Amino acid sequence: MNFLTALLDAAVGFVRRNPLTCLLILLLAVAAPAVLRGIAVFILYFVLGMIVLTVVVSFLFRWRIRRLQRQMEEQFGAQSGSEAGGAFGGGNPFGGRRRGEGASREGEVQVHKTAATPEKRVADHVGDYVEFEETKNDPGK
């Protein structure tokens, strides 16, 4: 019963807010019912079309996301299964070496030479050499 009362109150509120629209609808219903029916059918098809379009777009979006997800899983599976390296180093997601594959003992340091860089990046005649000496400043003195 409350639902019908709320529905009737909403209809009365619409009539109070839009008296000219309601008068036009009433005149169309009395004078030209075919035109009113055509307008009602157009509105009905428009609303149904928007609903169908929303459903189709949401299904297409979900399908595309699932397809991309499968592609990413296949790509990750192909990289982690290969022993030839790749970005993941044969299954290790952090690209580090596994134990037993040339791993050094704990505490041992290895230095690898990198690509040679030029000795000086600034020409010899630029700047002056300044000698300095570090001194301790005691805050108590």
SS3 per residue for 69-87: HHHHHHHHHHHHHCCCCCC
Tell me, yes or no, whether 121 lies in a domain: no
Tell me, yes or no, whether 97 lies in a domain: no
Could you list the residue range(s) of the whole structural domain that residue 27 is in? 9-81
- Per residue in 64-109, pLDDT (tens digit) is 999 999 999 888 876 655 544 444 445 555 544 455 555 667 888 8
Top pLDDT among 70 and 126 is at 70
Tell me, yes or no, whether 119 lies in a domain: no
Tell me, yes or no, whether 13 lies in a domain: yes
- Per residue in 11-47, pLDDT (tens digit) is 999 999 999 999 998 888 888 888 888 888 999 999 9
Counting Cα atoms < 13 Å in the Cβ hemisphere of 140 gives 0
Count structural domains, the chain.
1
Tell me, yes or no, whether 50 lies in a domain: yes
pLDDT of residue 127: 76
Tell me, yes or no, whether 26 lies in a domain: yes
pLDDT of residue 45: 95
Tell me, yes or no, whether 130 lies in a domain: no
